[in-house]
Amino acid sequence: MRRLLRSALATSLAGVGLLAAAPALAQSFPGPADDVVLTVGGGLNVSPDWEGSKTYVLSPWPIVGLKFLRSPLTGQPSSDTGFGIAPSFRYLSKRTFGGASVLAGLPDVPQAFEAGLTVDYTDTNFRAFASLRQGMGGHHGQIAELGVDAILHPMDKLTIAAGPRVSFASADYMRTYYGVSPVAALATGIPAYDPGAGYRGAGLGATVTWDIDKRWFVKSEASWTHLSDAIARSPIVKADGARDQFSISAGVGWRFGIDAW
């Protein structure tokens, strides 16, 4: 009887311990079954009114991310260093010229969204990446971007990554934002211009991330791009644009895990 009582008591205490630990296990992140960590969030962005503009506007800034905790090919755990692959996104606001603008009469360009992939190599204090994105909506061209970042951890939960960037664009992209068709030239008096594919520009980019906890974080990004000579020759940029393009964003994001496979 005593043995049965001791066994029952031990079982009860173990059950109480498991119940007490259950909330902590439920709240652990990432969970033992998670294969992918998705990041969603948003904030505000200050950037040129249109691609190549000298005026700036405030607009929403989406934060979207994807991290594989296990390889979708092998199922093995992924490392924070080494080669990786991730989605790449960019949003471009609508371009329109009012009647008072010197560029009035040029066709509007609807808002555009670019989506693609980034392949990178990451070490403890270094990252090199290459991104390729396809345009949808306002343009249907392609953008390629190369970059190198130094990664710093000046204090706990704070990460700073910054380095040079260089980008290239397809002819469709260049003509959409910097070209002037013969028809538009006749209608506006602006010289016709037909840029081809090639070098888009170079500059610097920086990202600052502060992790509030494992799930929540605050993020800020800043960039500067000096547009290429081919873009600088565009009548659009000459008339009412600027070669130096700046952007700054700030927002809050949240991470959650998914048992994907």
Residue 72: the pLDDT is: 67
**pLDDT tens-digit readout, 85-107:** 888 988 888 999 887 888 998 99
Residue 27: the pLDDT is: 57
pLDDT mean over 77-85:
79
What single-letter amino acid sits at 144? A
**pLDDT tens-digit readout, 185-244:** 998 899 999 999 999 999 999 999 999 999 999 999 999 999 999 999 999 999 999 999
75/166: higher pLDDT: 166
Banded pLDDT at 51 (limits 50, 70, 90) = confident
Phi-psi region of 155 (alpha: psi -120 to 50; beta: other; left: phi over 0): beta
DSSP 8-state assignment for residue 30: S
Q: Say if residue 180's pLDDT is above 90.
A: yes
Quote the tokens at residue 3. Answer: 């043995």
**pLDDT tens-digit readout, 126-151:** 999 999 999 999 999 999 999 999 99
